Amino acid sequence: MGRCGRRHQSEYVYITAEVFFDPERGTRRVRPIDGEVYPTDMRIECSMKIHELPIGTKVCLKVVETEKEGGRKFLYSSYRWNYELVP
């Protein structure tokens, strides 16, 4: 079951993620890079500005693990939060 409301600050972590093309959806999506604390098959719900970056672009952003009721787990990063491009 999903959680709603505010999370404790300790639940948020900074990770490096990448923009990739998801053939199942036919669109760009964002996922953690290999070697992060979360697996690469998790998706990140985040700002459309990040989704619009070129495929392969890496960003550092703050995420929290969540899930929708009856759905699979995913990572959430608010569209209002800052992110940094990773060289």
Cα atoms found within 13 Å of the Cα of residue 32, Cβ hemisphere only: 20
CATH number of 12-86: 2.40.50
pLDDT band at 11 (very low <50, low <70, confident <90, very high): confident
- Mean pLDDT score across all residues of the chain: 91
Prediction pTM value: 0.85
Q: What is the pLDDT of residues 34-64, one digit of tens each?
A: 999 999 999 999 999 999 999 999 999 999 9
Which residues contact residue 1 at a Cβ distance below 8 angstroms, ignoring those fewer than 6 apart?
67, 69
- Give the residue extent of every domain in the chain: 12-86
